[in-house]
Amino acid sequence: MRPLVATIDLAAIRHNYAFSQRCAPGRYAFAVVKANAYGHGVREVVEALAAQADGFAVACLEEALVVREVNASARILLLEGCFEASEYQLAAQLGLDVVVQDAAQAEALLACALTAPLRVWLKLDSGMHRLGFSPEQLREAHERLQGAPQVAELNLLSHFACADERGHPLTEQQVEVFLDLLDLDFAQRSLANSAAILCIPAAHMDWLRPGIMLYGATPFADLSVAELGLQAAMSLTAQIIGVHEVPAGDTVGYGASWTAPRDSRIATVSCGYADGYPRHAPSGTPVLIAGQRAPLVGRVSMDMLSVDVTDLPQAQLGDAVELWGAQLPVDEVAQACGTIGYELLSKVTARVPRRYRQS
């Protein structure tokens, strides 16, 4: 069997969910499990949180169907709403909470004869300018939808653009725009993603939407998971499958892009870009072998990558190599690669087996 596995610590995810609740006592929280629970396996994560989570949030109806298969009764929020009018009926049958973000979605909903009314979350564009009604449009939509037979509950939701950059002025503006609408009658309100849960109490409202923090990665560039008190959920572990003595001046890997500056010992490791490890990871990106860091060298191949173990003389064939995980934060690897932990975690491909630990 190919020695590469993503070990998912479900106890860490439960710990991180409880942590989000402790940040905002008395509030509810939709665990954000879109994109296969950020790569961790949506079925297993939903099962692990069944007794704890107030609800789950997903990006689309296809993802909601999977969550509903695993959990018959939890609230499930469709973060981008319905993409086609025909989806409302299925959403009603599944008992979903549905975002409505523009007039077209609102009118499509009002044109439906549903078997059961839906909990509707009007999405406010409070400044990110990605999805959502402007404040004036939202007032109109509120008037259109309030009391409509298709609507069981009318709620307000918005999303931050820069909550991960602490002190960013846009965040305060977005909170203001949100608060300005609270003269309207809403049953429930939701504004906070992980960064806001952790650092902006004024944004907590009624329902939190923790995503990345559940998986033990940080939303912040300047605060690590350890500093935040979160636990990494995924460890991506490969093995040394080859060791080569490379004389100074010889090159390693495709494109001969890395030249050994000294006589070197190079380990070949069983993980590549077809597993989700970023091909653009530069030489120097850390991996962990027996608790010690070693630098990636040369180009990442489809199924393998190379590591300079000259300074780890005890490293040998068969040793485990942590690409990221409990001992090497995914955020550190992401930073070396010019990206964010979200991308690395959610891009671990289907060919990497997930192994689950309960504790």
Ligand X SMILES: Cc1ncc(COP(=O)(O)O)c(C=O)c1O
Q: Catalytic amino acids?
A: 34, 254
Site for ligand X in 282-321 (CB under 6 A): none
Question: Minimum Å distance from CB 88 to ligand X?
Answer: 19
Burial 253-277 (b: 16+ CB within 10 A, else e): beeeebebeeebbbbbbbbbbebbb
Binding mask 53-92 for ligand X (x = CB under 6 A): --------------------------x-------------
Which residue, 16 or 310, has its beta carbon nearer to ligand X?
Answer: 16
Question: Minimum Å distance from CB 41 to ligand X?
Answer: 17
Neighbours of 176 (CB within 10 A): 11
Q: Measure the CA–CA gap between 208 and 211, rounded to whole angstroms.
A: 10
Question: Minimum Å distance from CB 219 to ligand X?
Answer: 5
Instruction: For the chain, give the number of residues.
Output: 359
Question: Minimum Å distance from CB 132 to ligand X?
Answer: 10
Neighbours of 164 (CB within 10 A): 22
What are 323's strand-pairing partners? none
Binding mask 108-147 for ligand X (x = CB under 6 A): ----------------------------------------
Direct distance between the N- and C-terminal alpha carbons of the chain, in angstroms, rounded to an integer: 25
Which residue, 167 or 313, has its beta carbon nearer to ligand X?
Answer: 167
Which residue, 32 or 315, has its beta carbon nearer to ligand X?
Answer: 32
What sign results for the dihedral spanned by CA atoms 89, 91, 92, 97?
negative
Question: Minimum Å distance from CB 23 to ligand X?
Answer: 12
Does residue 23 bind ligand X (CB under 6 A)? no
The count of chain residues that interact with ligand X, using the rule CB under 6 A, is 12
Question: Over 142-186, what HEC string results?
Answer: HHHHCCCCCEEEEEEEECCCCCCCCCCHHHHHHHHHHHCCCCCCC
Which residue, 210 or 295, has its beta carbon nearer to ligand X?
Answer: 210
Q: Which residue is at the shortest CB distance from ligand X?
A: 211
Let me know: does 348 contact 41? Beta carbons within 8 Å.
no
Which residue, 134 or 257, has its beta carbon nearer to ligand X?
Answer: 134
DSSP summary character for residue 275: G
Q: Which of 24, 32, 240, 287 binds ligand X (CB under 6 A)?
A: 32
Question: Minimum Å distance from CB 304 to ligand X?
Answer: 31
C-alpha distances out from residue 327 to 8, 218, 347, Å: 14, 15, 20
Which residue, 266 or 334, has its beta carbon nearer to ligand X?
Answer: 334
DSSP summary character for residue 256: G
Neighbours of 351 (CB within 10 A): 11
Neighbours of 213 (CB within 10 A): 24
Site for ligand X in 161-220 (CB under 6 A): 193-195, 209-213, 219
Would you tell me which residues interact with ligand X (CB under 6 A)? 32, 79, 159, 193-195, 209-213, 219
